[in-house]
A = this chain, B = another copy of it.
Amino acid sequence: MMHLILADSELELIPKKLIKHPAVRNSKSKILDASLHHAAMKGLKQWQRRGRPDIVHVFLLIANESILNKEGMLRTYVHTRNDEVIYIKPETRIIKNYNRFKGLMEQLFEHGKVPPENEALMEMKKESLEELLDKLEGKRILFSMDGEKRKLENIMEEDVICIIGGFPSGDFLSPVHKMVDEVVSIYHEMLPAWIVGMEAIVAYENKFVK
């Protein structure tokens, strides 16, 4: 099984102090989104990296539609900057429309699960990255530009936990380096989270599917 974690993702509700700002006041969605709320965000600490639900969306569109997931060999988790963890059932079909996806994320923050009635396809828990890792079995690989350059197929193990940063720039907020077995770099430039995810997924498929 591959456990794939998008860590320290920039997914959060609009902070209270921003709610009266003109760039936010008429926002249809309660999810902070840099592409809409940019003008209001400059008062936030670390504002340049925050408000990126789009990264979470594309990452999940790749992970949950992948061959690896359809084969039942992938579990995907989204850990946020405020230490929430979203558990995503493998059978979840990630909604393709971005605005509706943000609506679902909003429901998660409000009700802790979606759909709010019936059995949950996605569930959000208050949990740190370390607490999540303690529940999972496998070699822990962190993807980071300061890691060693390795061919992914060589380091994949049948039980593996891949940790990928869910932020557009900067470094992990969680103390990840002390939690992992190996730190690898797959390219000399910063790559978007979904590209790292796709490289990890296909490497695992090539080694273990069929």
Contact = CB atoms under 8 A, between A and B. Distances in A.
Interface of A: 33, 35, 54-55, 58, 61-62, 65-67, 70, 96-100, 186-187, 189, 191-192, 194-195, 198-199, 201-203, 206
Given A70-B189, A96-B54, A98-B98, A62 B62 contact: yes
A169 to B, nearest CB: 13
Contacts of A65: 191-192, 194-195
Given A58-B61, A61-B58, A66 B195 contact: yes
Contacts of A61: 58, 192, 194
Nearest to A206: B206
12 contacts: A35-B97, A54-B96, A54-B97, A58-B58, A58-B61, A66-B195, A67-B199, A70-B189, A98-B99, A198-B202, A202-B202, A206-B206
Contacts of A201: 198
Contacts of A55: 96
A115 to B, nearest CB: 18
B35 A96 contact: yes
A206 B199 CA distance: 10
B194 A70 contact: no
A189 B93 CA distance: 15
A194 B64 CA distance: 12
B54 A98 contact: yes
Nearest to A54: B96
A198 B62 contact: yes
A100 B36 CA distance: 10
B99 A99 contact: yes
Contacts of A192: 61, 65
Contacts of A35: 96-97, 100
A93 to B, nearest CB: 10
Contacts of A96: 35, 54-55, 58
The 6 lowest CB-CB distance pairs between A and B, nearest first, are A98-B98, A35-B97, A202-B202, A198-B198, A54-B96, A65-B192
